[in-house]
A and B are shown apart, each in its own frame.
Chain A
Amino acid sequence: MSAKKYHQLSGLEDGVRIESRVLEERLQAAVVQGHRNLHIKAFGQHGIGGRLWPAGNEAVHIKIDGHPGQRVGSMGFANTRIDIYGPASDDVGWLNAGAHIVIHGNAANGCGNAMAQGKVYVGGNIGARGMTMTKANPRFAPPELWVLGSAGDYFGEFMAGGTAVVCGHEPQNEDNILGYRPFVGMVSGRVFFRGPHDGFSQPDARMAPISDADWQWLLQNMKVFLENIHRPELLEKFSARAEWQLLVARTPQEKLTTRRRSMQAFRTDVWDRELGRGGLIGDLDDKDRDPIPMVVSGELRRFVPVWENRKYAAPCEATCPTGIPVHERWRLVREGRVDEAVDLALAYTPFPATVCGYLCPNPCMQSCTRQIMAMPPVDITQLGQASIAATLPELPSVTGKKIGVIGAGPAGISVAWQLRQQGHEAIIYDMAKTLGGKISSVIPSTRIPKKIVDQELARAAKVIPHVNLQQNLTREDVARLREDHDYLVLATGAQKPRIIPVPGKERMIPANDFLAAAKENQAKPGKRVVVIGAGNVGCDAATEAARLGADDLLLIDVQEPLSFGKEREEAEKAGAKFRYPCFTEKVTAEGVVLNTGELLPADTVIISIGDAPDLDFLPDGIDTDRGYVKVNDHFQTSDAKIFAIGDLVKPGLLTDAIGAGRKAAAAIGELAAGRTPAGLQREMIDRQRVSLEYFDPRIEQFDDVDHCGSQCSSCGACRDCGVCIAACPQTAISKTEKGGSEYEYVVDPDKCIGCGFCAGACPCGVWNLVENEPLV
C-alpha cells in the first residue's frame, strides 16, 4: 500500500458519534488489515492511536483531526507516530510506551502523565499536571515532552524520569512558564526551560548548569521538535544558550541535606539575643539551670545522710525510770571494759545490784527492741548483779549547799546520792532505825540476798555521811528544816496502809506490817491465810506467810489480779490460789465473808490494797492532790524550796523512786547553780531505724555479760561496726578518729548520692537520711 494513502476513519456515523470502543475496533482492524497510515476524524473518542502492536515493527502513522477525546496515544508503541492537527484533550500520551505524538496546538491537563518512553511534542501550551509520574526504564530510551509554550500548574509532580523541555514561546502566563508548584515529589529526570518561573519544589529539585553535552543534545533535538511542529523558524530564537536553564531532581542524599537550625543555635542566636543572656528569666535568677543527671552528688543531692550518734535515747535508756543508758554499758562490755560498764551504773543509781539485778521488773528489758521483735531482750540482771562490785568514783569536794532529805528509802537515798556526787551536802532524816526504807524493811529476803542489800546500803552510807535516823518529824520540825537547808526533799514514801471499812476491819493485818514482821521472823500467820488484794505486795505477803508455816493461801481481789513477774511466780510456787472478783462483806474470826455470803475460812487475814502517804507533817504551802503531793516535772512542790519524790508523789516502782531522786537532784543542782533546770530525757529512737536482722533470733538465753553485749543492737548509738562503710556504693563514708576512744563517721559530699544505704544498713539506726538544704 502506498505510504501516502491514508485510510480514513471517522468518529461520526450518520451524524451520530460512535462509541470509543467502536472506533478502536475499526482502527485495530485496519492495522491488522495492513493499513499503516490512518487518518482519523475524531469526535471526542478516547485513547486514539495507542496499542498498535499488531503492526509489529512496521511504522504506523496516525493523523487525527476533528476533536480527539482524552488520552490520545495512550499505551502507545514505538512503531506509532501520531499527529494531532489541533488541540488535544487531557492525558495525551498517558502510559506512553514509545509512541511519538505530535500535537499541533495546545494540550490539556495531564500531558505525558505516566509516560515511560516515546516523545510528546506540543506545539502550544499545556494544562496542569503535565509530565507527571513519568518513568525511565533502563531498557529503553527515556521519555521526552517538548512544549513550545508554557506548562500549567503542578508540572512534573512525582516525575521519575525523562526529559521535559519548555520553550516558553507565547506562554499562557508570561510571568511564569512553569506554572504553580512544579516538581513536587520529583525524584528523577531533567527539565530544560526558557523563561520566567515562580519557584519550584526546592526539596525535590535543583538548578544545574547546562553542560556542553546537554546543550548539544538540546539543540539537535530542538531542531527535530520544531520541524515536527512545523515551526523551524524558531530555531534561531531558541539558540541563545544563556536563555536556557536546566533543572534536575535532587538525589535522595541531597534531599537529606535540607537542615533546620539546631535548637541550641536558635536559643543562642535568636532567643537569647532578643531576651538577653539567660533567656526568659535571666534577669530574675542567675542560678545555673543547665541539665544535670538524675544521680548526683554534692549540693545537688536531694538527700544527705547524717550520722546521728547518740542523738536519740535507746529504748532501754528511754524507758528506764532511772535513766540508765543500758546500751552504753553493753558497749563497754563489748569493748572489754566490763569494770567501766559496772561502774557506770553508780552514776545513775545507788542500787544497781539490788534494783537492776534483783528487785526491778526491768522496763529496760520490756522495751528492748529485741523484745519487740520477739527475740529475748538483752539480760540486764546479769550486769545488775555484777554491779555489786562497782567502785565509787571519787567524790567532788563540797560546795556548801545543804539539802535536807526527809526519808531514807530508795528515793531519799537516790537524791542524796546524786546531790553528793554533784558536791552538795545532803542530810537525811528518817524515822526508821536503818537506811533503805522498804528495801531493807519490807521486801522479803527470798527476793534478794540480804548481803547484797547491806553491801549497797553500806556503799550508799559512805557517800551520804549525814543520816539522822529515828527522827519523828512534825510539821514544825519540817518547817524548821526548810529554813535550815537550801532545799528540802520530801521522800517519806507511802506509810499508811489502806484498810477497807468493813466490820471486822481490825482483824486485818496490813501487808507491810506483816512483811516487816516476817522479815524479822516475828510474824506468826495461821495455817489458813487470806490476802485481800492480789497485787505484788500481796504475793510477797503470801510467799512470806508460806515460809512462816501457812499452807492454805488464798489471794482475792475485786478485779483480775495485777500481780506479775517474780512476785507472782514465788507466790504461786508457794501454793497460793487466786480468786476474783470477790467483794469483802466483813471479816470474822472464821475468816472473810464475801458479799455473796460465802465464808472464806482464814486464820489470818492480810490486807494488801496499797498504802497511802502520810501527809500530816507537810508544812503549809504544799499543794496535794487526792492524797499525794503535787509536783512539777522536776519534782518541785508548790513551795519552790521543797521537792517531793517517790511514793509520796505517785506510787511506783523502786526504779521510779530512784529516777525521781536523780531528776530532782539534777533540778536542784541546776537551781543551785542559778540555771533553769532542763529535762534529762532525750527523745527515744524510732525502733524502725534499728536492724535486728544482724542478730541471731534463735538465742534463748545469754551465757554471760559478754554474750549479752554481743547481742545488743545498740539502738541509736554507733557500734562502730563499719557496715555503713561497706554498704555505701560510692565509698563516700569514712571513719575519723577524734582522739581517745572518740570517733566519727563522716560523709564525703562529693561522692555521696544520697541513696540512704548507710541508714538502711546500719544495725543501730544511727544514720539518718535528711532532705538537703533547699537550693532556692
Chain B
Amino acid sequence: MCRLFAITSKEPLSPMVAVQALDVMREGHDGSGVGLFLRDLGGPFEDIKDAPILSGIFSDKGLKRLDTYMMDIGFMTKYKLSIKVPKKPPAGIPRRDVYLVRAYEYPEDWDDMPTAEKYEQLVSIRLELRRMGLEKDDMKVFSFWPDVIMIKEIGDPWKVAQHLKLDRKELRARVIMAQGRQNTNYDINLYACHPFFLQGYSTMTNGENTAFVPIKEYLMGRNVKGYIGYQSDSEVFTHILHYTQHVLGLDIENYKHVITPLQDADLVKHPNGDFLRHLKNSCRRLIIDGPNCVIGCLPDHSLFMVQDRKKLRPGVVGGKPGIYAFSSEICGLDAAIAERDKSKDFQPMHLDTVIVGPDRQEVKVCCQTEALPHQLSA
C-alpha cells in the first residue's frame, strides 16, 4: 500500500515537508517511486500565476524537440527551473538529463482567447507532447498548467529529494501532494506514478482498483480529451473527479456519491434521495470497489480525502487554522504538523469526505447520508 501525504498551508512550504512525512511512513513504501504535486506556488512562481508551467523529464534530445515544438506553436519561456543532477545518480534512481519545470508565456494570438478555451488547448498540447515523448522515449510530461508543478521519479523519496535537491528555495508551494509508491505494476512506469493531473484536478490513491477495466472502458467512451493513459488503475480516480466536477458540474460532496454510492435503503432515507438515485444509476459504471483512500486537490486549491465504502484504508487529517495535512498514517501527520490539537485529528470513516477549503480554516466533514449543500434540482 502506497503512502500518501498532502498538506495545505497559508505559508508556502518546501516539498521536503511532504518528503519527510513520507520518510516517516517509509515502512509503507518500497522505494519504487515518488510523485509530487505542487500548486499555489510561492517563490519565483508567485508572480506568474497565470503562466502555464510544463513539468516533465527530458533527455537532451527531447529538450531540443520540445523547444522546437513550443516555439512552433508560439510559446515563449517565461521562467525555468531546470534541475540538473549529477551524472551518476544514487542506486535505485535512473539517470536523467533534465527535470524540467518551465513556465511559458502564452502565444500572442491567444490573448483574446477565453480562459476555458486556453485550458482546453493546454490539455491538447500536453497530450501531444506526451505522444511525442512516447514515440522516441525522450520526454515525459506530467502537467502543463498554470501554478502547478509535478515531479515524479523512480526511487526512494528521500533519496530522490536529495538527488534532485528539492529543498531548493525556488520550490515552494501552499498545496503539496506526495506519494511514496509501493509498486504494484509489473514495470515501473513513471506515467503510472501518482498523483495524476488533468485540467486542474489531481488525485492520488492507494489501494487496488479492481473495477479498473469497466471504469476505464466507460471513461474512454465519454469522448473527453485527456481520458487516456491508464498506466495505473488509479488514474481513473482523477478522471472521475474531473468528470464529476468539470463535465457534470457537481460539487465535491457528490464525488463520493459517484464512486461509492449509498445503498438503496439509505437512498430512500436521504434528503436528496431521488437525485442521488438518478446519479447512481447513470454513473453506475464509475463505482469503484476499493479498497482505496483517495486524496485530491481541486482547481480552487481545496484538498479532500475520501475512503472507499467497504474497507477503510487508514487515513487521517489534522492541523490547525492556516495549515492542515492529510496523511495515510498518523505518524506522517505528526511529523509534518507536530504542533496541533491532536485530539481534533479526524480519521474519515466509510461515509466521510473531508475537505479543507482554500481558506485553510477548518476540516469540513461531509457524511454521505447528509443533505447535499447545493443540489442541482429537486
Contact = CB atoms under 8 A, between A and B. Distances in A.
Quick check: do A and B touch in the complex, using CB within 8 A? Answer: yes
Contacts of A105: 342-343
A66 B23 CA distance: 14
A68 B331 CA distance: 6
A40 to B, nearest CB: 13
Task: Identify the interface centre among B23, B329, B332: most chain A CB within 10 Å of its CB.
Answer: B329
A129 B313 CA distance: 10
B256 to A, nearest CB: 14
Nearest to A91: B314
B257 interface: no
A43 B351 contact: no
A89 B330 contact: yes
Q: How large is the interface on A (under 10, 10 to 19, 20 to 34, 35 or more residues)?
A: 35 or more
B312 A153 contact: yes
A43 B314 contact: no
A5 B116 CA distance: 66
A43 B27 CA distance: 11
Task: Identify the interface centre among A17, A42, A106, A179: most chain B CB within 10 Å of its CB.
Answer: A106
A180 B24 CA distance: 30
A154 B312 contact: yes
A43 B335 CA distance: 8
Contact of A69 (B25, B345, B349): B25
Given A43-B24, A46-B27, A69-B331, A108 B343 contact: no
Interface in B137-163: 158
B28 to A, nearest CB: 8
A433 B158 CA distance: 147
Given A152-B312, A172-B346, A17 B27 contact: no
A90 interface: yes
B334 interface: yes
Contacts of A88: 330
A109 B343 CA distance: 16
B320 interface: no
Interface in A97-114: 105-106, 108-109
Contacts of B334: 66-67, 86-87
Contacts of B347: 106, 108-109, 125, 127-128, 152, 172
Contacts of B270: none
A89 B25 CA distance: 10
B24 A69 contact: yes
A105 B24 CA distance: 19
Nearest to B312: A128
Contacts of B312: 109, 127-129, 152-154
A626 B16 CA distance: 128
B366 to A, nearest CB: 13
B316 interface: yes
Contacts of B26: 17, 44
Contacts of A638: none
Contacts of B345: 87, 106
Nearest to B347: A127
A109 B293 CA distance: 13
A109 B312 CA distance: 9
A68 B334 CA distance: 9
Task: Identify the interface centre among B27, B312, B331, B349: most chain A CB within 10 Å of its CB.
Answer: B331
Interface of A, helix, strand, loop or mixed by DSSP: loop
B350 interface: yes
B27 A69 contact: yes
A730 interface: no
Contacts of B349: 128, 152-153, 172-173, 179-180
Contacts of A125: 347
Interface string B347-368: 1011100000000000000000
A108 B23 contact: no
Contacts of A129: 312
Contacts of B329: 44, 69-70, 89-90, 108
B342 A86 contact: yes
B293 to A, nearest CB: 11
Interface string A30-72: 0000000000001111100000000000000000001111100
Interface in B118-173: 158
Contacts of A87: 330, 334, 342, 345
Nearest to A45: B27
Contacts of A179: 349
A180 B332 CA distance: 26
A170 interface: yes
Contacts of B331: 42, 44, 67-69, 89
B257 to A, nearest CB: 17
Contacts of A124: 342-343
Nearest to B335: A67
Contacts of B316: 106, 108, 127
A44 to B, nearest CB: 3
Interface string B311-349: 010101000000000000111101100000011011101
Given A124-B343, A154-B312, A44 B27 contact: yes
A179 B312 CA distance: 12
A170 B314 contact: no
Interface in B282-315: 312, 314
A44 B332 contact: yes
A108 B334 CA distance: 13
Contacts of A20: 27
B162 to A, nearest CB: 10
A63 B317 CA distance: 25
Task: Identify the interface centre among A108, A124, A179, A180: most chain B CB within 10 Å of its CB.
Answer: A108
Given A17-B24, A127-B314, A180 B330 contact: no
A17 B350 CA distance: 33
B314 A90 contact: yes
A46 B350 CA distance: 26
Interface string A77-91: 000000000111110
B343 A170 contact: yes
Contact of A70 (B27, B335, B350): B27
A16 B158 CA distance: 9
Interface string B240-265: 00000000000000000000000000
B335 A44 contact: yes
Task: Identify the interface centre among A45, A66, A86, A87: most chain B CB within 10 Å of its CB.
Answer: A87
B54 to A, nearest CB: 33
B178 to A, nearest CB: 15
B336 to A, nearest CB: 9
A721 B24 CA distance: 105
Nearest to A15: B20
Contacts of B314: 89-90, 108-109, 127-128
Contacts of A86: 334, 342
Task: Identify the interface centre among A67, A108, A152, A154: most chain B CB within 10 Å of its CB.
Answer: A67
B337 to A, nearest CB: 11
B155 to A, nearest CB: 16
A172 B25 CA distance: 24
B343 A106 contact: yes
Contact of B24 (A44, A128, A152): A44
B335 A106 contact: no
A67 B24 contact: yes
Contacts of A44: 23-27, 329, 331-332, 335
B295 to A, nearest CB: 16
A86 B312 CA distance: 22
Contacts of B330: 67, 87-89, 106, 108
25 contacts: A20-B27, A43-B335, A44-B331, A46-B27, A66-B334, A67-B24, A67-B334, A68-B331, A69-B25, A69-B331, A87-B345, A89-B314, A89-B329, A90-B329, A106-B316, A108-B314, A108-B329, A109-B314, A109-B347, A127-B347, A128-B314, A152-B312, A153-B350, A180-B349, A180-B351
Instruction: Sort A-B residue pairs by CB-CB distance and give the 8 closest, nearest first.
Output: A44-B24, A67-B331, A128-B312, A67-B334, A127-B347, A89-B329, A87-B330, A109-B314
Given A70-B27, A106-B343, A108-B330, 10 more contacts: A44-B24, A44-B25, A67-B335, A87-B330, A88-B330, A105-B343, A124-B342, A152-B349, A172-B349, A179-B349
